[in-house]
Chain A
């Protein structure tokens, strides 16, 4: 019996710390494990006893790459618990902020983390030596996303302007005008990105994923919608825990989410969002996707780079629409009265569905918190991809095979720092 173990101890260009291990026996992949070394930080524990109003700032620190997602899921869950809804211009501003995070985070992944895989470089800095213009386009796009975060949120990482009930300070129409100019240019760059990404060389690998994403009556989903799936699920965020659960397994030393009904894996993130919401994209984004050769669904994870580019284009388009329609609201936030209750929310982080649940006491203190980040939901799918794809690459030289495995993981842009529950790895070296 020949045994081959592929190990990548430190996965580069993923946010956070992870490694992977694939075991091959007689030419068949018997095991594929993504491991997380991220030390636990116990957010759900120390949130207990904090005021409801502190949740957006505290949970933002779960992940520096997608703090807005944490802030948004937190504020919506709290508003659900307090029985209020933020509507109109304030709701639109939240979407605008989310656009900023999507643009920033996707541009970072497309150009600095993922592109080097396709073009054969160790990282963006090496890539810039021969593809400087490309890297500069990516940085410019990323900066446009950051410009939204900085203006509306106060700073790029861990914005300070988000609160339960709205914002601390709202921007004036005048302040938003220069942002619009910049976003017009970003939209051009995003269009060019879709075209460029479409021309990359993709391994022909598909998988029959169970896609899960939000779906909203009229919008491509950011903050709101029902949780729907390609196999017919249709739930309110409050029903999330009826259908999905997380397991704590020693083997992988991280919480894995799966469907409660049959323990099967599912996929959240750009591919799922796109495949379930193609008809909600703006006409420009739909046309660009078609031109890039994408159908109304996409099940090749290597093409996620194109789908991310389409989403960046959409986010630029949507941000411009919001800015054009913006009328300053009378107040930056709505009044809130603490009360006992339970609140749920799911929003679309760049990497996929992010679920929060809080139980509040009468005085508005957090009695219990539950957070399910996208990367914990996608772990099972990442491992399934490795199991399915690696078999076809076994004849490749060791280094290239290892690289393909890494790339398979990077397709997901795994944000391992969403480490609420992630723990340190003990490798089974068997």
Chain B
């Protein structure tokens, strides 16, 4: 055989495993994917490992320990392409809420012996440590988008994952706007598309799990939310969810701190 199948590796840092599970949730496509690529490292799914260089690394999770900060450098060295999957890897995840707090205090809340714990003061996205070739958003990622990334990879093209807002998807899906119709607070206008506007379809506001779209107008949405009656503390919290460390959300939240 002249051209081998591309070698795929799946890595985990601080995360819940939900994004890598999305790959196993592609029940209809899993065996086809496994035929098209060589799954060379995916400890959650297989004991077999192939060492060396990987054509593509999917990276889940954020960097929160000194050990992981070193490990990601090694992963980068061994990966031709490095793709982050999910809000943890792309924006630091929900655990980035520690970035606003004193991590020693956090450790003392959870652990009887904080001196046993080795952790960094912050939870940071992969791109703050190494160069990243492509970022897939979401908490969790959307499995259709994951398949698109893999298909693009096999075809040597760039994945198509629109950078517009959830609002566009909401309109396309024919949802009634929850903010206009019911006055429900919604981050849809500033949130990156990709989920298919699920929350508004279930009569609730978007909570921004795909993180900021390109060029979001966060201050204007804050004004709108305040007009709906949201107080400052709630507003700050609203921006501080699964993508709290993503710059546009982080900065906007900060504007509402006392």
With contacts A158-B18, A424-B118 taken as known, whether A61 is within 8 angstroms of B111 at the C-beta atoms is no
Which residues does chain A contribute within 8 Å of B109, judged by CB atoms?
42, 44-45, 48
Which residues does chain B contribute within 8 Å of A160, judged by CB atoms?
198-199, 202, 204, 207
Which residues does chain B contribute within 8 Å of A113, judged by CB atoms?
45
Which residues does chain A contribute within 8 Å of B209, judged by CB atoms?
158
Separation of A163 and B140 alpha carbons in the complex (Å): 18
Size band of the A side of the interface? 35 or more
A13 at the interface (CB under 8 A from B): yes
Separation of A120 and B237 alpha carbons in the complex (Å): 50
Do residues A14 and B44 form an inter-chain contact, with CB atoms below 8 A? yes
B21 at the interface (CB under 8 A from A): yes
Do residues B18 and A112 form an inter-chain contact, with CB atoms below 8 A? no
Do residues B97 and A15 form an inter-chain contact, with CB atoms below 8 A? no
A108 at the interface (CB under 8 A from B): yes
Interface residues of A in 37-96 (CB under 8 A from B): 38-46, 48-51, 54, 57-58, 61-65, 67
A135 at the interface (CB under 8 A from B): yes
With contacts A12-B46, A154-B202, A406-B47 taken as known, whether A64 is within 8 angstroms of B16 at the C-beta atoms is yes
Which residues does chain A contribute within 8 Å of B82, judged by CB atoms?
none
Do residues A122 and B48 form an inter-chain contact, with CB atoms below 8 A? yes
B73 at the interface (CB under 8 A from A): no
Do residues A125 and B34 form an inter-chain contact, with CB atoms below 8 A? yes
Kindly identify which residue among A41, A142, A168 contacts B27, using a CB–CB cutoff of 8 Å.
A142
Do residues A46 and B106 form an inter-chain contact, with CB atoms below 8 A? yes
Do residues B101 and A45 form an inter-chain contact, with CB atoms below 8 A? yes
Of the candidate stretches B64-72, B128-136, B160-168, the one touching chain A is: B64-72
Tell me the smallest distance from the CB of A209 to a CB of chain B, in Å: 26
B24 at the interface (CB under 8 A from A): yes
Of the candidate stretches A183-191, A234-242, A415-423, the one touching chain B is: A415-423
A290 at the interface (CB under 8 A from B): no
Which residues does chain A contribute within 8 Å of B143, judged by CB atoms?
156
Of the candidate stretches B7-15, B51-59, B215-223, the one touching chain A is: B7-15
Q: Nearest chain-B residue to A420 (Cβ)?
A: B110
B255 at the interface (CB under 8 A from A): no
Q: Nearest chain-B residue to A142 (Cβ)?
A: B27
13 additional A-B residue pairs with CB within 8 Å, beyond A116-B46, A155-B140: A10-B43, A40-B64, A41-B94, A42-B98, A42-B106, A45-B106, A64-B17, A65-B17, A67-B18, A123-B39, A125-B31, A157-B19, A168-B202
